[in-house]
Amino acid sequence: MTTAVDPLPVIDMTPLFDSSDRASHQRVADEIGSACRSRGFFYVVGHGMPASTLEGLDAASRRFFALSEEEKNHIAMRHGGRAWRGYFPVGGELTSGEPDQKEGLYFGTELPIDDPRVIAETPLHGPNLWPEAVPELRGLVLDYMREATRAAQALLRGIALSLDLEADYFVKTYTGEPTVLFRIFHYPESPGHGWGVGEHTDYGLLTLLAQDRHAGLQVESGGDWVDAPPIEGAIVCNIGDMLDRLTGGWYRSTAHRVRNSSGHGRLSFPLFFDPNFDAELRALPAVARRGALRDEKPRWDAADLQTLHGTYGEYLIGKVSRVFPDLANRLPGVQGSRMGG
């Protein structure tokens, strides 16, 4: 069942960029904390990302997806190796074992080939693949990733304050060198409003999602599904499984899905802002102070996030290997992880 009532909150995060205004900081932090606790999803305005960047990114992305399949496959993910970058076709990505009805581009932090992590062949680290047919895409993607990363760090300051932590807790402990993964997804029009992506939760700390003018995102809410349509000037933010894990279940990651339209295609631009690759996953000090915080409401997949241990990188490799099992099988040493989940 889908319902149009009880819309997602809209939060102006502007004060989080001004370190001198502590009262406004705390007010916004309280709004974010309430949204994280009750919904796990909210819109943000005042995020500092210029509309011109997204407009340019939208236009360049449409140019890319209009290319022939042969041209798009010049930067297919198989060419990205252990960096897991590039293009995948419709049906090439799995959610809960089912093929998604979308195509997309994978990007991450741009690293030179002489970076120690690239030399060591660390999975998910390396240079991006850029389409020669759409040369402007490179600059637009890197600009957007930089701007969205700044917004994500500011949001984490608000989240830290909402948990009675110092504002810089996350950047000092988990996101000094964050794992940043950016995707551009194209959902083709689908007769009968098919599912572009089935029910799932995101696996990291925060997701910042820009959308084009077409709706499709739906968020689970109390057994119903709430539409999360695009709002001009706003982006959607949702918490992922790792923030759920770190808060001991106090902030819950929320299931969501995407419905394809029968009348038009749709673009979305999710940026996944996650812990340092080598960060150990431990409960936050706020959890230790408050005691057991877990909400006993069952998850959509019945997983117990509190049993996860090890580094974020180990966990992430296991997750991505399930999304692209064929690619994982061609890359020795990344087929699994002790994290599971």
Tens digits of pLDDT across the chain (341 residues): 444 446 899 999 999 998 788 889 999 999 999 999 989 999 999 999 999 999 999 999 999 999 999 999 999 999 998 888 999 998 777 666 677 788 999 999 999 999 999 999 888 999 999 999 999 999 999 999 999 999 999 999 999 999 999 999 999 999 999 999 999 999 988 766 677 888 889 989 999 999 999 988 999 988 889 999 999 999 999 999 999 889 888 898 999 999 887 678 899 999 999 999 999 988 788 665 554 445 556 665 556 666 666 899 988 888 777 766 665 565 555 444 332 22
CA distance 323 to 332: 16
| Residue 180, pLDDT score | 97
Plot region of 119 (φ>0 → left; ψ -120 to 50 → alpha; else → beta): alpha
Phi then psi for 29, rounded to 5 degrees? -60, -40
| Residue 249, pLDDT score | 84
| Residue 292, pLDDT score | 46
Distances (CA, A) of 190 to 105, 187, 237, 263, 279: 20, 8, 26, 8, 41
Instruction: For the chain, count helices (H), then strands (E).
Output: 10, 15
Residues 202-256: tens digit of each pLDDT: 989 999 999 999 988 999 988 889 999 999 999 999 999 999 889 888 898 999 9
Can you give the length of the chain in residues? 341
Helix intervals (H) in 120-203: 136-162, 169-173
Distances (CA, A) of 300 to 48, 146, 220, 280: 34, 33, 10, 26
Radius of gyration of the CA atoms of the chain, in A = 19
Neighbouring CB atoms inside 10 A of 332's CB total: 8
| Residue 103, pLDDT score | 93
Neighbouring CB atoms inside 10 A of 79's CB total: 13
| Residue 82, pLDDT score | 86
| Residue 4, pLDDT score | 45
Q: Between vectors from CA 39 to CA 206 and to CA 291, what angle results, nearest 5°?
A: 80
In the numeric block, which tokens belong to residue 254?
A: 């929320």
Helix pair angle (51-65, 136-162), 10° resolution? 130
| Residue 297, pLDDT score | 62
| Residue 316, pLDDT score | 87
DSSP conformational letter for 311: B
Reference 174, options 26, 289, 284; nearest CA is: 284
Q: Between vectors from CA 139 to CA 136 and to CA 144, what angle results, nearest 5°?
A: 120
In the numeric block, which tokens belong to residue 325?
A: 């099992």
Phi then psi for 146, rounded to 5 degrees? -65, -45
| Residue 193, pLDDT score | 61
| Residue 287, pLDDT score | 65
How do 41-45 and 10-12 pair as beta strands? Answer: parallel
CA distance 292 to 223: 25
